[in-house]
């Protein structure tokens, strides 16, 4: 038989469904790069137990015992939403094109040509759209071009509904004022988070504003700053402060989202941000199958997603005025 042999392609999904699902969901940049907390095994909702303690030091030198301080448990609820990808592929659409050379002989096609290529692109697109939704999701949004943004409320909306520390607003972010904005964010980091190795602070922003920051730092000729490396990695450390800055595609401006979602800078320690999913349930699976009734190849991926903030008062946020 000439051309590609595709009889075993369906096995690709069967043997790699866990990888496909993981790449599609946990492959989102925010989950793979930032290092936020991932809470697995959530079917619907789960309480995140938070604990705060104070331990005041007392005067000694006597035999008295005076209890003081506090140990306080609180919680926030992390709710996940059931999500899915479905698509239908008709192999016969390919047979009259040059792609038909890769199809098996005969007129009955029960496997999907180029399955690895197709599923690879599917997982990348799911990961990219999910990544934006993690930050910019808004169930009330009716104008966005990315339909997935309506599926659950993202981190920005939850931060705004809480009690974040607000940096001084500007009409817009430019290369002329970005250094001042970052200095203001740095100054407003809560004192208990300063130089705290257990809660390392990171400032996150979209690529457009990160470029302004790189240009400004380059123009000021900051020492120990490599603009080429910063642009290549999307990461830099603010000279003189030690504050790590990270560019995220998920915080890029998206057409159709509300103004409050655009040009945002969020500074917190990554473990303060939570992503909830299941990933332990057979319901979450990647599948391709031949449908005898309409002779199409059909694909589906099902999973659950949701986000939450542990302490919104430990977030310093910037929004344009």
- 75 or 33: which leads in pLDDT: 33
Mean pLDDT, rounded, for 275-304:
80
Domain of residue 118 covers 10-52+71-318
Check residue 295 and give its pLDDT: 76
- DSSP annotation of 194 reads T
Number of other CB atoms surrounding residue 258 within 10 Å: 15
For the CA atoms of 231, 164, 56, 271, the dihedral, rounded to the nearest 10 degrees, stands at -50
Would you place residue 67 in the very low, low, confident or very high pLDDT band (cuts 50, 70, 90)? confident
What is the rounded CA–CA span in Å between residue 225 and residue 78?
Answer: 39
Is residue 207 pLDDT above 80, yes or no? yes
What is the rounded CA–CA span in Å between residue 258 and residue 276?
Answer: 24
Mean pLDDT, rounded, for 191-219:
94
- Kindly state whether residue 65 falls inside one of the protein's structural domains: no
Is residue 184 pLDDT above 90, yes or no? yes
- Please give the mean pLDDT across all residues of the chain: 84
Its pTM stands at 0.84
Mean pLDDT, rounded, for 11-32:
75
Check residue 5 and give its pLDDT: 47
Is residue 3 within 8 A of residue 101, CB to CB? The reply is yes
Number of continuous H segments (helices) and E segments (strands) in the chain: 7, 13
Is residue 116 pLDDT above 60, yes or no? yes
- 234 or 25: which leads in pLDDT: 234
- Residue 267 pairs in a beta bridge with 203, 316
- 53 or 60: which leads in pLDDT: 60
Check residue 10 and give its pLDDT: 47
Q: What percent of the chain has pLDDT over 70?
A: 84
Number of domains within the chain: 1
Is residue 182 pLDDT above 90, yes or no? yes
Mean pLDDT, rounded, for 36-61:
86
Angle of CA points 183, 185, 191, to nearest 5°: 105
Half-sphere exposure of 292 (CA within 13 A, CB side): 0
Mean pLDDT, rounded, for 85-105:
64
Contacts for 302 with CB less than 8 Å, ≥ 6 apart: 82, 83, 84, 85, 283, 284, 285
- Kindly state whether residue 2 falls inside one of the protein's structural domains: no
Is residue 43 within 8 A of residue 281, CB to CB? The reply is yes
Would you place residue 141 in the very low, low, confident or very high pLDDT band (cuts 50, 70, 90)? confident
Check residue 2 and give its pLDDT: 40
- Kindly state whether residue 60 falls inside one of the protein's structural domains: no
Is residue 291 pLDDT above 50, yes or no? yes
Would you place residue 13 in the very low, low, confident or very high pLDDT band (cuts 50, 70, 90)? low
- Kindly state whether residue 4 falls inside one of the protein's structural domains: no
Would you place residue 151 in the very low, low, confident or very high pLDDT band (cuts 50, 70, 90)? very high
Would you place residue 80 in the very low, low, confident or very high pLDDT band (cuts 50, 70, 90)? very high
- 176 or 11: which leads in pLDDT: 176
Is residue 261 pLDDT above 50, yes or no? yes
Query: Distance of CA 239 to CAs 167, 214, 233, Å?
Result: 19, 11, 17
Q: What percent of the chain has pLDDT over 90?
A: 49
Check residue 15 and give its pLDDT: 63
Check residue 155 and give its pLDDT: 98
Each residue's pLDDT tens digit, 96-112:
544 445 555 545 555 66
- Kindly state whether residue 57 falls inside one of the protein's structural domains: no
Q: Domain holding 290: CATH number?
A: 3.90.1690
What is the rounded CA–CA span in Å between residue 291 and residue 310?
Answer: 45
Would you place residue 266 in the very low, low, confident or very high pLDDT band (cuts 50, 70, 90)? very high
């Amino acid at each position: 038989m000439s051309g590609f042999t595709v009889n075993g392609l369906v096995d690709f999904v069967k043997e790699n469904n866990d990888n496909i699902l993981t790449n599609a969901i946990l492959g989102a940049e925010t989950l793979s790069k930032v290092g936020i907390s991932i809470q697995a095994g959530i079917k619907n909702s789960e309480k995140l137990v938070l604990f705060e303690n104070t331990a005041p030091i007392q005067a000694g030198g006597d035999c008295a015992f005076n209890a003081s301080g506090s140990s306080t448990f609180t919680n926030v609820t992390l709710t996940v939403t059931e999500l899915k990808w479905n698509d239908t592929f008709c192999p016969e659409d390919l047979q009259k094109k040059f792609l038909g050379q890769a199809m098996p002989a005969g007129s009955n096609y029960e496997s999907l040509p180029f399955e690895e290529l197709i599923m690879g692109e599917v997982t990348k697109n799911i990961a990219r759209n999910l990544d934006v939704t993690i930050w910019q999701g808004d169930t009330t949004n009716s104008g966005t071009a990315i339909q997935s943004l309506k599926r659950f409320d993202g981190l920005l909306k939850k931060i705004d509904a809480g009690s974040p520390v607000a940096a001084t607003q500007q009409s817009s972010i430019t290369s002329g004022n970005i250094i001042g904005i970052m200095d203001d964010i740095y100054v407003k980091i809560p004192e208990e988070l300063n130089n705290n190795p257990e809660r390392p602070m990171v400032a996150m922003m979209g690529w457009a504003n990160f470029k302004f920051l790189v240009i400004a730092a380059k123009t000021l000729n900051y020492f120990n700053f490599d603009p080429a490396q910063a642009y290549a990695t999307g990461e830099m450390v603010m000279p003189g402060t030690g504050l790590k800055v990270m560019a995220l595609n998920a915080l890029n401006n998206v057409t159709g989202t509300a103004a409050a979602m655009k040009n945002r800078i969020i500074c917190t320690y990554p473990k303060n941000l939570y992503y909830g999913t299941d990933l332990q349930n057979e319901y979450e699976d990647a599948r391709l199958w031949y449908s005898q009734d309409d002779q199409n190849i059909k694909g589906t991926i099902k999973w659950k997603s949701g986000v939450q903030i542990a302490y919104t008062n430990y977030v310093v946020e910037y929004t344009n005025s």
